[in-house]
Every structure is written in structure tokens, then in C-alpha cells.
Amino acid sequence: MRLAVNIDHIATIREARKTDEPDPVAAAVICELAGAQGITVHLRGDRRHIQDRDVELLRRTVTTHLNIEMAGTTEMVRIAQTVKPDQVTLVPERKDEVTTEGGLDVVLHSGNVEKVVGQLLDARIDVSIFVDPDLEQIRHCHKLRAPKIEINTGKFADAWKSGKSGNWPAELEKIATAARAAKKLGIVVLAGHGLTYRNIDAIATVPEIEELNIGHSIISRAALVGLDAAVREMAALMRAPRRLPTVR
């Protein structure tokens, strides 16, 4: 099972100050050196975190696999055709949502999804569709000739968080059933959303899932495990300031 790290939150921190750090490009390199087999970013219509500049630079630096999540709009398709990521994941997008709230309804948006899948495949970009673990949706992805799907694990993650009151085994079973059905149809199965260091073991047992997309939990952990070193580095510089560069 491959791990693709979603680095949107690195850009979220940068955009909190509208400055130049931390840079998602540097984050991508660190993730790859640590063993990630892919880098994922979501270029949102409102550009709240990842910017056009990021996807252009990531295309030039990511050596593993670059996946751009996007809505199937004319603007996004044009960007994908220019940047040429290894893969585009089609997601639904609502302006006031905090994060992607559910899978794309490919039955409802059949016409547009079919058109966009065709345009991306024609540009030699692999296509994945973010869908709920719902058999009707998965069969429709097959009809629309999507080579890959990413099964939304959000409901499973919510059920896990609710502890005993949440029926996470039932949600896990839905994911496993959906993954089996998709694989039988010849669709490559990926999954993601809401996965954490606590709930990962359950999802990692589903054999049909080839890749997981994980963002929030990894970046959250990075902020905490990296804090000790970051404070020590600043304190050391304050104790022994370096010589100032000469200003001409």
C-alpha cells in the first residue's frame, strides 16, 4: 500500500501570514525523502492554501507522483492540461466548506464528469474520482471510464472518533465491499480522508486499496514532533548569535 501525503496544510500556515514560509515545495521534498510515494495538493477555486505557483513548482520538483485534487471546472482542467500532474483527483467543492465534505456525486454530475475525465485522459493525465463507498457511484465511475477511484473514508473516521457509539466496523465493511467491487470492475482503488495514527490499522487491512491519501494527521503530528527541535534551534541562535552579514 502506497502513501501519498497531502501537504495543503503547509500552504495553509504560509497563507495565514501571506508570506513565503513554510514552502510546500520544501515539504514535498522532505515527505519524499521520508518515504512517501506521492504528493497530493488540492488547488481550490478560492486558492485558500495551494497557489498556482505551488503546482507549477511541485511539477518540477516532485519525483515520485504528483496528484492534484480539483473540481471539474473549465479553469481547473486548463491548469491540469498545462501543468500535467501525474494524476488529477476530481472532488466536489463548496465555497464555505472547511474541507472536502463527501464524495463527488458522479451520477448527478455524470455529463460533466464524463467530459472532464475524457479531457484529462486525452492530455495523458491519470484520473481518480473521490467517491463515497457506494456501489451505484462506483459502477457509474466504471461507466464514465475512470481508471481510478479514491474511496472516501471520512464516515469511517467519524465513526471511529465517536468511540463505542460509532459503528466503525460497519463503515469499514462498506469501504471493503466498495473496494472489492471496484477492483472487480478493473478500477484501481485508492482511499483517504480523516485517516489518523489511531485508525490507520483498520484501513490498512483492506487488500484492494493500493494507496492512501493522508494530510491533516501527518501535518498535525509534524507540527508537534518538530516543535522541540525548532525551539532548541532558536534558543541556540539567541545564546550564540551568528555574525551579521555585511550590508553594502
Q: Which residues are tagged catalytic?
A: 42, 69, 193
Considering the complex, what minimum distance in angstroms separates the CB of residue 218 from ligand PXP? 7
- Dihedral angle of Cα 87, 69, 204, 182, to the nearest 10 degrees: -70
Near ligand PXP by CB under 6 A: residue from 10, 50, 58, 91: 91
Spatial distance between the Cα atoms of 10 and 32, rounded to a whole number of angstroms:
15
Site residues (CB under 6 A) for ligand PXP, limited to 39-68: 42
Near ligand PXP by CB under 6 A: residue from 67, 178, 192, 199: 192
Considering the complex, what minimum distance in angstroms separates the CB of residue 244 from ligand PXP? 41
Near ligand PXP by CB under 6 A: residue from 72, 127, 215, 222: 215
| For ligand PXP, the closer CB: 226 or 235 | 226
| For ligand PXP, the closer CB: 205 or 220 | 220
User: Is 130 near ligand PXP (CB under 6 A)?
Assistant: yes
Near ligand PXP by CB under 6 A: residue from 14, 120, 194, 209: 194
Long-range contacts of 161-168 (CB under 8 A, 24+ apart): 168/199, 168/202
Q: Which amino acid is at 184?
A: K
| For ligand PXP, the closer CB: 91 or 175 | 91
| For ligand PXP, the closer CB: 89 or 119 | 89
Tell me if 193 sits within 8 A of 152, measured CB to CB: yes
Q: Which amino acid is at 25?
A: V
Near ligand PXP by CB under 6 A: residue from 14, 25, 50, 100: 100
Considering the complex, what minimum distance in angstroms separates the CB of residue 87 from ligand PXP? 12
Selection from 120, 134, 128 nearest residue 42 by Cα: 128
Considering the complex, what minimum distance in angstroms separates the CB of residue 5 from ligand PXP? 9
Near ligand PXP by CB under 6 A: residue from 32, 132, 150, 171: 150
Going from the C-alpha of 172 to that of each of 74, 132, 133, 150, 230, the distances in angstroms are 35, 12, 10, 15, 38
Near ligand PXP by CB under 6 A: residue from 14, 44, 65, 193: 193
Selection from 38, 53, 45, 47 nearest residue 5 by Cα: 38
Tell me if 103 sits within 8 A of 134, measured CB to CB: yes
Q: Please give the size of the binding site for ligand PXP, defined by CB under 6 A.
A: 19
Evaluated on CA atoms 83, 87, 93, 95, the torsion sign reads negative
Long-range contacts of 57-62 (CB under 8 A, 24+ apart): 57/25, 58/24, 58/25, 58/28, 59/83, 59/84, 59/85, 61/25, 61/28, 61/29, 62/28, 62/32
Which residue ranges make up the site for ligand PXP (CB under 6 A)?
Answer: 6, 8, 42, 69, 89, 91, 99-100, 130, 150, 192-195, 213-217
